[in-house]
């Protein structure tokens, strides 16, 4: 059964106007909001490891209580993840990302996370050093 088909030109003009508004809004709003589509325009990744009997072991996410899909990590989020009564092993590492690059070190006895900014331009050598170290 054929049905009524809408007026294409009115749909086009109205649609394009709505599109322009929604694109401008999407680009300017918080990238985490729906329809803001900020995926991969930035990143923050943690390369954390523990040293056990002179062996450098990369830490999986569950060791510091981050969910299995928690692949975005900056120092603020890492600090929040460490606010748990359960033990977290001592670890070192680097966080590399769009908003900055840091060396991190966690001491479980004092429950203190030390964070030190990596100088601009030194992040790739810092990262490759960690990548070469792990077993």
Partner 1 sequence: MSLTDGGAGATATTTALYCLALALAWRTSLTLLDSRTIRLHHPDLRVYRPGAGWTHPGRLRSRWALARLGLLLAVAMALAPVIVPAPWTQNTTLALCCACVAWLVRDGALDTARYTSVCMTLLASVLVLRLGLPLVGVAGTVPAGAAASLGAAQLYLVAGIRKLGSPHFMSGRVLADNIAYGAYQARAGSPDFFRVPSPQVMAGLLEGPWFLPLLRAAAIGAALVELTLGLGALGLLPGVVVVGLAVPTHLAFLAVSPRRIVPFTVASVGLLLIAVQAPVLR
Instruction: Provide the binding-site residues for partner 1, judged by CB under 8 A.
Output: 1-6, 8, 11-12, 15-16, 18-19, 22-23, 26-27, 31-32, 34-43, 45, 47, 57-62, 65-74, 77, 80-81, 84, 96-98, 124, 127-132, 134
For residues 53 and 125, which CB has a smaller minimum distance to partner 1 in the complex? Answer: 125
Residues 6 or more apart whose Cβ sits within 8 Å of residue 5: none
Nearer of residues 97 and 104 to partner 1, judged by Cβ: 97
- Closest approach, Cβ 107 to partner 1, in A, equals 19
The beta-carbon contacts of 83-90 under 8 Å, at least 24 apart in sequence, are 88/63, 88/64, 89/50, 89/59, 89/63, 90/50, 90/51
Nearer to partner 1, 17 or 116 (CB): 17
Cβ closest to partner 1, residue 31 vs residue 108:
31
Q: How far apart are CA 23 and CA 42, in angstroms?
A: 19
Q: What's the min distance (Å) between Cβ of 78 and partner 1?
A: 9
Minimum Å distance from CB 8 to partner 1?
A: 7
Least distance in Å: CB of 17 to partner 1? 10
Of the candidates 94, 96, 64, which has an alpha carbon nearest to the alpha carbon of residue 81?
64
Nearest-approach distance from CB 7 to partner 1, in angstroms? 10
| Residue 93 CB contacts under 8 Å (≥ 6 apart), including other chains | 46, 47, 48, 49, 59, 103, 104, 105, 130
Q: Which helix (H) or strand (E) holds 79?
A: helix 75-81
């Amino acid at each position: 059964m054929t049905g009524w088909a809408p007026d294409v030109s009115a749909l086009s003009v109205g649609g394009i106007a709505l599109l322009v508004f929604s694109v401008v809004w999407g680009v300017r709003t918080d990238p985490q909001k729906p329809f803001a589509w900020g995926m991969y325009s930035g990143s923050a990744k943690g390369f954390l490891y523990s040293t056990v009997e002179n062996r450098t072991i990369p830490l999986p996410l569950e060791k510091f209580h981050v969910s299995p899909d928690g692949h975005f990590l900056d120092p603020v989020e890492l600090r929040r993840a460490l606010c748990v009564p359960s033990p977290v092993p001592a670890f070192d590492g680097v966080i590399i990302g769009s908003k900055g690059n840091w060396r991190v070190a966690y001491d479980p006895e004092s429950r203190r996370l030390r964070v030190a900014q990596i100088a601009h331009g030194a992040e790739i050598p810092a990262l490759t050093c960690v990548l070469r170290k792990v077993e």
